[in-house]
């Protein structure tokens, strides 16, 4: 076999190995699609984090949101959770290049992470998993007054406070929900 063919075959195998975890995670809560960078500042303003508060990004992908929030709020604690190992490594690379001490990145299934200490949870998921899987988890685990910020997708029904930041030319809406004690299950 010519050397070029061998190199191409090795590169192909590496690409497949890297893509398989991303593909599998896509069947859990959502496939990897990154949020446009022009929304990061808005998310930070909506989060309005105070010193000592805890911000979670569930399914953080390359951790562009978690990293931005950690940098903008050095006194808050930011936790990014990602199931796809490839994306997790990418997020670690981002934090290696520009380290944020207050950012923790975890390779884990977001559904198995206890969110009871969260003050803000950011998600970019798909509507069926958001409504059927994440909503009951949030109502069970999140404490009163915790804010949920969702890019693009909505809860179809929500009894508590809700605001929507309209879409821009380049990006979709941001939905902000607050947990009330009446909603807790």
Ligand X SMILES: C[S@@+](CC[C@H](N)C(=O)[O-])C[C@H]1O[C@@H](n2cnc3c(N)ncnc32)[C@H](O)[C@@H]1O
Least distance to ligand X from the beta carbon of 181, Å?
Answer: 27
118-127 burial, b for 16+ CB within 10 Å, e for fewer? bbbbbbbbee
Show contacts with ligand X in window 55-74 (CB under 6 A).
Answer: 57, 59-61, 64-65
Q: Decide whether 73 or 91 has the Cβ nearer to ligand X.
A: 91
Among the listed residues 49, 87, 134, 179, the single contact to ligand X using CB under 6 A: 87
Residue 123 corresponds to which tokens in the numbers above? 């998600």
Any idea of the CA torsion for 62, 63, 68, 71, to the nearest 10 degrees? Answer: -120
Q: Which of 70, 78, 81, 120 binds ligand X (CB under 6 A)?
A: 81
For 118, phi then psi, to 5°, come to: -75, 145
Q: Is 29 in the site for ligand X (CB under 6 A)?
A: yes
Query: Is residue 148 a contact residue for ligand X (CB under 6 A)?
Result: no
Residue 7 or 19 with smaller CB distance to ligand X: 19
**Cα 18 from Cα 84, distance rounded (Å):** 9
88 and 65 in contact (C-beta within 8 Å)? no
d(C-alpha 72, C-alpha 9), whole Å: 43
Three-state DSSP at 91 gives: helix
- Kindly tell me which residue out of 49, 70, 83, 130 binds ligand X, with binding defined by CB under 6 A: 83
Cα separation, 118 vs 78, in Å, equals 10
The residue (of 77 and 122) whose beta carbon lies closer to ligand X is 122
> In this chain, which stretch among 75-83, 96-104, 138-146, 159-167 interacts with ligand X, using CB under 6 A?
75-83
The answer to the question of residue 134 lying near ligand X (CB under 6 A) is no
Instruction: State the residues that interact with ligand X by CB under 6 A.
Output: 25, 28-30, 32-35, 57, 59-61, 64-65, 81-84, 87, 109-111, 124, 151
């Amino acid at each position: 076999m010519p050397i070029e063919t061998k190199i191409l075959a090795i590169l192909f195998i590496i690409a497949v190995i890297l893509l398989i975890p991303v593909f599998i995670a896509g069947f859990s809560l959502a496939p990897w699609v990154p949020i446009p960078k022009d929304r990061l500042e808005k998310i930070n303003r909506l989060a309005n984090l105070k010193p000592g508060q805890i911000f979670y990004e569930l399914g953080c992908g390359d951790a562009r949101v978690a990293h931005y929030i950690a940098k903008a709020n050095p006194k808050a604690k930011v936790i990014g959770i990602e199931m796809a190992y490839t994306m997790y490594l990418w997020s670690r690379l981002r934090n290696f290049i520009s380290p944020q001490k207050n950012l923790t990145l975890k390779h884990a299934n977001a559904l198995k992470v206890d969110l009871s200490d969260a003050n803000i949870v950011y998600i970019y998921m798909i509507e069926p998993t958001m409504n059927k899987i994440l909503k009951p988890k949030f109502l069970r685990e999140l404490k009163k007054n915790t804010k949920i910020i969702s890019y693009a997708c909505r809860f179809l029904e929500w009894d508590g406070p809700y605001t929507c930041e309209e879409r821009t030319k380049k990006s979709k809406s941001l939905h902000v929900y607050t947990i009330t004690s009446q909603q807790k299950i």
